[in-house]
Homo-oligomer: A and B are copies of this chain.
Amino acid sequence: MSNGKPKIVIVGGGFGGIKIGQLFAKENVEVTLIDRHNFHLFQPLLYQVSTSVLETGEIAYPIRSFFRNSPNVNLYMAKVQGVDQARNVVITNHGEIPYDYLVLAAGATTNFFGMKSVEEHAFGMKTLQEAVHIRNHVIHEFERAEKPYRTPEDRKKRMTFVVVGGGPTGVEEAGAIAELIAIQKKEFHLLDFNDVSIKLIEATPRLLPMLPEDLQQHTVKVLQKKGIEVMLNTQVVDYDGDILTLKSGVKIPTTTVIWAAGVRAVDMMKNCGGECARDGRIWVEENLMVRGAVNGNVFAIGDCAAFMHGDMKRPLPTVAPVATQQAKVAHKNIMKLIKGDTNLEKFVYKDLGAMATIGRGEAVVGSPKKMTGFMAWCAWMVVHLIRLAGFYTNMTVAFKWALNFLTSARLGRIITNISLDPNK
């Protein structure tokens, strides 16, 4: 323990990592938060960056800003490669970081379920870079499609946009793409927008599985009204960048496949000295300590932790409330251990319900009360604004949403990754 204070290391600056960092900031401990980025990403609004509603800086907030007034919390920007529990050190690409107590809050990445071709050619939807790539690509495809030398088939392929995954991310992305394209339509005088096709593919029989069935059906209807083809019970087996192949054998020519069909823990979790579930999440006890932690001082929370949900015996959803609720319990338990109390608290998940937007002025909310339409959309906005980091961000995003609602304008429909290779 340097300067006598217990040294807490947190891996990951997502919802769980920031929350537990804020709790430890008030304690007499030294905290090092490690993240490969210098920012916390508000992932629920990533789809808005990918469709030009918001800018990167509005959903990515410097981690250090959370701890501006907490001199005992410091960021260490590095990529974590693993943990040596025997020696109590985190191994990073910028050296080893010793800890007295470790909190793994490393989050999740896209799960392509072993389909290498899809992983290579489809867009993930988990990082800021991916969201910007999607934005650049979708807008660029319209520019490419308008070129006079395209064949009708080529043009159609470039104007076919497929989103895979019927969870909130997939539904929100498909809805937002439909609206983005409606704006594009006004600005491409030479392009026939009858060639545009937007498809939402889901392997199971339903969208938004966490919501009641009538809201699921409502969602399908709203999406269809926006011109989106909703394909349920549909499985993807291959994608080569030009042709998306379904399990049924049907082939869809498309240059854009956005993969929002599943997540798994980041690869590094398997190097943390614990045992991992099939989706890569590290097993934790009911008190959130990593199962089999050799020195009894390693905890895991959020998307990277495998915790069975009470009697239901299914893993917890990979959502922000799980991570922040677990942060509170992990913080409490580490403080107990610091004080020599080994009677640790058990984590119990309190489900706050689910919601999703389907587009401008449309959302579905499952609880505390079922809501659809404009009121549900307002509720969705309020919940997300409250959770966004910082007054300045709140104001800016609220301002942009208001302008976007009133004018349908979308700033930032710009392509920023132009290759200067004259052949592209």
A residues at B contact (CB < 8 Å): 36-39, 52, 55-58, 60-62, 64-65, 67-68, 71, 74-75, 77, 79, 81, 93-95, 128-129, 132, 139-140, 143, 147-149, 186-190, 390-393, 395-396, 399-400, 403, 407, 409, 411-416, 418, 420, 422-424
Contact = CB atoms under 8 A, between A and B. Distances in A.
Contacts of A67: 187
Nearest to A186: B68
| The 10 nearest A-B residue pairs measured at CB | A57-B412, A64-B187, A55-B55, A93-B422, A39-B414, A392-B409, A57-B411, A77-B143, A71-B189, A60-B414
A32 to B, nearest CB: 10
B403 A396 contact: yes
Nearest to A97: B148
A189 B25 CA distance: 13
A364 B401 CA distance: 35
A36 to B, nearest CB: 6
Contact of A68 (B75, B139, B187, B399): B187
Nearest to A413: B62
A65 B55 CA distance: 18
B399 A411 contact: no
A128 B132 CA distance: 14
29 contacts: A36-B420, A37-B415, A37-B418, A38-B140, A38-B413, A52-B57, A55-B58, A55-B412, A56-B56, A56-B412, A57-B413, A57-B414, A60-B416, A61-B414, A62-B187, A62-B414, A64-B187, A64-B188, A74-B189, A79-B420, A94-B149, A95-B149, A128-B414, A132-B416, A392-B407, A392-B411, A395-B399, A396-B400, A399-B399
Contacts of A412: 55-58, 60
A190 B296 CA distance: 30
Given A128-B414, A395-B399, 9 more contacts: A37-B415, A56-B412, A61-B414, A77-B415, A81-B422, A94-B147, A128-B416, A391-B407, A392-B409
Copies of this subunit: 2
A411 B58 contact: yes
Question: Interface centre among A147, A391, A396, by most B CB within 10 Å?
Answer: A396
Contacts of A390: 409
A126 to B, nearest CB: 14
A186 B67 CA distance: 10
Contacts of A407: 391-392
A407 to B, nearest CB: 6
Contact of A79 (B77, B149, B189, B422): B422
B395 A403 contact: yes
Contacts of A77: 143, 415
A148 B76 CA distance: 10
A298 to B, nearest CB: 22
Nearest to A95: B149
A403 B409 CA distance: 22
A396 B399 contact: yes
Given A189-B71, A422-B81, A416 B129 contact: yes
Given A93-B422, A413-B62, A416-B56, A190 B37 contact: no
A91 to B, nearest CB: 11
Question: Interface centre among A38, A52, A58, A190, by most B CB within 10 Å?
Answer: A38
A139 B400 CA distance: 26
Nearest to A400: B396
Contacts of A400: 396
Question: Interface centre among A61, A409, A420, by most B CB within 10 Å?
Answer: A409
A224 B207 CA distance: 61
Contacts of A64: 187-188
A185 to B, nearest CB: 10
